[in-house]
Chains A and B, each alone.
Chain A
Amino acid sequence: EAGVAQSPRYKIIEKRQSVAFWCNPISGHATLYWYQQILGQGPKLLIQFQNNGVVDDSQLPKDRFSAERLKGVDSTLKIQPAKLEDSAVYLCASSLDLQGGGYEQYFGPGTRLTVT
């Protein structure tokens, strides 16, 4: 079974520039998550999708971050404009289905973003 795929793996940008990350979840997984993990901290949920609908985006800084999951499969997370404090690893995860009890989340390798 193929795992969660993410790209790019690394990205370096200057502050005020834009960046986009891509995630392809495990086939058949209805739920997709984007986390931000700052060095030395636990992952923080930014946004959660169930199919192509948003379940929770309460911790997404909506003035600069946006995310979409068209067609309920792949997802993109965008930052525009980036700030220095956005430097982190952005992790995508997926799980089977909320209602079906598919609680286990499978993480992708992450995208390490450095903002200079």
Chain B
Amino acid sequence: GENVEQHPSTLSVQEGDSAVIKCTYSDSASNYFPWYKQELGKRPQLIIDIRSNVGEKKDQRIAVTLNKTAKHFSLHITETQPEDSAVYFCAPREGDYKLSFGAGTTVTVRA
């Protein structure tokens, strides 16, 4: 199965600063790369995704970059706000259909 690693496992940033989370995966056939945000006690929600034919995608303050050769993709959050505090999961799609979730990165935005 897919081996997925996220780094760092925890991240504390000052409000207004940027946050970057990196996800490495093992299956070279993976073709879909989403990031999910999960607030405490809530369900995971998709915040951004990218497909393998694109290198970067941006949506307001969040962006995802993909390096298929090196088998990693990263989540970038700019101008962080307190509401960005949550656990973030990468979940590359293994084979034809299965998402393999990473262990998560706990982001804390300090006011």
Cβ-defined contact, A107 with B97, below 8 A = no
Chain B residue at minimal CB-CB distance from A6: B43
A109 within 8 A of B: yes
Stretch among A42-50, A61-69, A72-80 lining the B interface: A42-50
- Chain A interface residue count, Cβ-Cβ cutoff 8 angstroms: 20
Given the known A-B contacts A42-B89, A42-B103, A42-B104, are A105 and B46 also in contact in the complex, defined by CB atoms under 8 Å? yes
- Chain B interface residue count, Cβ-Cβ cutoff 8 angstroms: 20
Neighbouring A residues of B93 by C-beta, 8 Å: 103
Neighbouring B residues of A106 by C-beta, 8 Å: 46
State the Cβ distance, A22 to closest chain B Cβ, in Å.
16
State the Cβ distance, A101 to closest chain B Cβ, in Å.
9
Chain A residue at minimal CB-CB distance from B44: A107
Given the known A-B contacts A41-B104, A91-B44, are A104 and B34 also in contact in the complex, defined by CB atoms under 8 Å? yes
Cβ-defined contact, A42 with B34, below 8 A = no
Chain A residue at minimal CB-CB distance from B43: A107
A56 within 8 A of B: yes
State the Cβ distance, A102 to closest chain B Cβ, in Å.
11
Interface string of B28-55 (1 = CB under 8 A from A): 0000101000000011111001000000
Neighbouring B residues of A55 by C-beta, 8 Å: 97
Neighbouring B residues of A40 by C-beta, 8 Å: 104
Interface string of B79-111 (1 = CB under 8 A from A): 000000000010101001111111110000000
Q: Contact residues of A with B, CB < 8 Å?
A: 31, 40-45, 48, 55-56, 91, 98, 103-110
Offer 28 A-B interface pairs, CB within 8 angstroms, sorted by A.
Answer: A31-B97, A40-B104, A41-B103, A41-B104, A42-B89, A42-B91, A42-B103, A43-B44, A43-B89, A43-B101, A45-B99, A48-B97, A48-B98, A55-B97, A91-B43, A91-B44, A103-B49, A103-B93, A104-B46, A104-B49, A105-B46, A105-B99, A107-B44, A107-B45, A108-B43, A109-B42, A109-B43, A110-B43
